[in-house]
Structure 1
């Protein structure tokens, strides 16, 4: 093989590997996830530029979780009242707060999340929508983390950077992809 062709082949292989998703998922091996029938989803912590991004992503997550027909999700209004009643002010409650919250809501687990990015990102020649989200599930009986996952979807890819395209997928589609990825991580 010619050296120039060999370098080009290595370059293409490196690009292909760079585009492969890397999942960092934790499943507690001692947890019986079949015992989790009712889940409370707390408001997500919003680190994005969009002030309503976390609420939008939480709604998509709750609806997708309900559509699996494997768990009951406590309505968001009930969760909000219980959080207010217990004076939980942090987006990541302590183990004691999780146990009290689950007892009050009769939930088996709590999901908390952090929305890292939501909406349009730009480079000098391209724009696209991106959603980056990390979630964790805590056991209602112990308050311990029993599952954690992260997903990042969308963004400006190498071809868009090279060709200078604009647009990308709508933010709703990118949100659904990120949520679907997280549910796949949860239920595998």
Structure 2
């Protein structure tokens, strides 16, 4: 009898431990043969917002800029200057940029590359009485002289936790989860 109970408890414990973390789906691409060390300064353009949260694109743009600067990956042009050039170029809020426009923007801002992005999720999901954050983001680094993609990374992170759902513990909030996802995406740049 005790063997069956111990075995059942062990199985439950293994299930809880292995399913407690926040799921992360991530994929990245780095153009073969490209050494990104020539990129010293970038401009982070406005992100496309595909989420239900109208402030998500600007929030994640700020987090990306902060993380790039904190990691010392690149120097970043102040976003107010970037936005001014975008207005001059009459680029809409949707973040649709063609190669010629990207090259002009890079030239005007004096950068070797531009970073674009799209926010695919920035929501609080609910399952019964349990709620948890979900963040989805894609980042694309584009060469300022050619308009070609140098690097791209996409990922989705969830704050879902079986432990949190069962025991009611507080998990990560949207901002904390966003910083974690951005850090992981930028780590694939391998600089």
TM-score (norm 1): 0.83
Correspondence list, 1:11-160, <5 A: 21-89=24-92, 90-160=94-164
Q: Are the counterparts in 2 of residues 125 and 164 from structure 1 also a CA contact under 8 Å?
A: no
How far did residue 158 of structure 1 move?
Answer: 4.5
TM-score (norm 2): 0.82
Unaligned runs of 5+ in 1: none
Q: Are the counterparts in 1 of residues 24 and 158 from structure 2 also a CA contact under 8 Å?
A: no
CA distance in 1, matches of 2:140, 2:87: 21
Which has the higher mean CA deviation after the structures are superposed, 142-151 or 47-56? 47-56
User: Which segments of structure 1 move beyond 3 Å, counting only runs of 4 or more?
Assistant: 19-22, 157-161, 164-167
Per the alignment, in what secondary structure is the counterpart of residue 186 of structure 1?
coil
How far did residue 165 of structure 1 move?
Answer: 3.8
1:177 matched residue in structure 2: 180
How far did residue 41 of structure 1 move?
Answer: 0.5
CA distance in 2, matches of 1:133, 1:166: 26
Structure with greater contact order relative to length (CA < 8 Å, sep ≥ 6): 2
CA distance in 1, matches of 2:80, 2:28: 29
Deviations 1:61-117 (A, max 9, x none): 101101122311011011001111111224131111111110111111111111111
Alignment: residue pair count: 178
Q: Are the counterparts in 2 of residues 126 and 164 from structure 1 also a CA contact under 8 Å?
A: no
